[in-house]
Amino acid sequence: MSPAHAQPGRGQNLVGAAVLLVLALVAAGVYWQQLQYDPAQWGRLGATSGQTAGPLAAFSVPGLSPLDAGQSFGPDNLSDKIDGKAELYLAAGFESLHTRRYALAGQSAAWLEVFLYRMKSAEAAYSVFSSQRRSGAEALTITQQSYRTSNAVYLANGPDYLEVVASAATPGLQKAVLDAAQAYAQARGVKKTGAASEAGLFPPQGLQANSVVLLSKDAFGMAGLDRVYIATYPQGSQELMAFLARRADPSQARTAAQGYVQFLLGNGGQESPPPAELPGGRLVEIMGTWDLVFSQGPFLAGVRGGEDQAATLALARLLRARLSEVKP
């Protein structure tokens, strides 16, 4: 038997299992931290920053009184306020953050904090909005991209990303965070959404509502793979992820698709014969799931994470059909 096909010994199996367990625990820890993130718990008033409310200086909401003069943060010290999440914003195109706390009139212990992020573009604002969307939230119509949870309102509006987070989920504060978000929209005006036209290209059949996310940088762990839109498609007990990314021309899209396939193969993937119904498609099995990668016109696209090869191919066909309708 050749070394390439030799069966691993028990010791090798145990080491491999231990490594996979450690990686799984690290991934779980990161995911849990993201789920638990609450801006109100980061960077209390003692954080080092500019003591200015910036555009929030003139911001007022009936029934709320400012508790402080406000704070401003730039790329150099953003982590002072949101340590652990700063890289997400910086990678997307962060420019500035202005924060200020307000309390219900006569109730200093009942307060909320406004976080106004200015990003480099509407697309950058949509990226941080979509990648942190809280599960089970209630959609709002304050702006084209807005929702609320039990104690907060989140919205994207042009290059702005706004969070209004209350110290508790009491009826008075729930109304106050909504009033504050509406006051912001009235003062700034409702801008065009940052979700580019790519966000509307995913097949609607089976698409999970509010699941379209823009990954600004190093998508799927691949350095240099940027501006990738992803969408979730529940399939019984599993979920498929469709993805697409517009490039400058078809040649660049083909190069990007080849690069991503090589990335998969370099990380243990095994390529299978290409599907006849998807000419030019590349089918890779990796860690027990299937990735189908292809290019269509100026788009790099594909489907990730499918345990069922047939379901993966079916969604890839729908995605390719949608992209083939896009005019150059």
User: Per residue in 13-64, pLDDT tens?
Assistant: 433 444 443 344 434 443 334 333 333 333 333 333 456 668 898 888 999 9
Query: What's this model's pTM, rounded to 2 decimal places?
Result: 0.78
CA–CA separation, 39 and 114 (whole Å): 10
CA–CA separation, 76 and 279 (whole Å): 48
Q: Is residue 8 pLDDT above 50, yes or no?
A: no
The class of domain 197-324 in CATH terms is alpha beta
pLDDT for res 146 = 96
Query: Tokens standing for 308?
Result: 């069922």
Categorize the per-residue pLDDT at 304 as very low, low, confident or very high, splitting at 50, 70 and 90.
very high
Q: Is residue 222 pLDDT above 90, yes or no?
A: yes
Q: Is residue 219 pLDDT above 80, yes or no?
A: yes
pLDDT for res 29 = 43
Query: Tokens standing for 228?
Result: 């990738």
| Closest by CA position to 325, among listed 205, 197, 192 | 197
Q: Are 177 and 152 in contact (CB under 8 A)?
A: yes
pLDDT for res 53 = 67
H or E stretch at 88: helix 86-92
Q: Which residue ranges make up each domain of the chain?
A: 39-188, 197-324
Q: Is residue 194 pLDDT above 90, yes or no?
A: no
Fill in the amino acid letter for 176. Answer: A
Average pLDDT across the chain, whole number: 85
Q: Give me the percent of the chain exceeding a pLDDT of 70.
A: 83
pLDDT for res 12 = 38
CA–CA separation, 324 and 315 (whole Å): 14
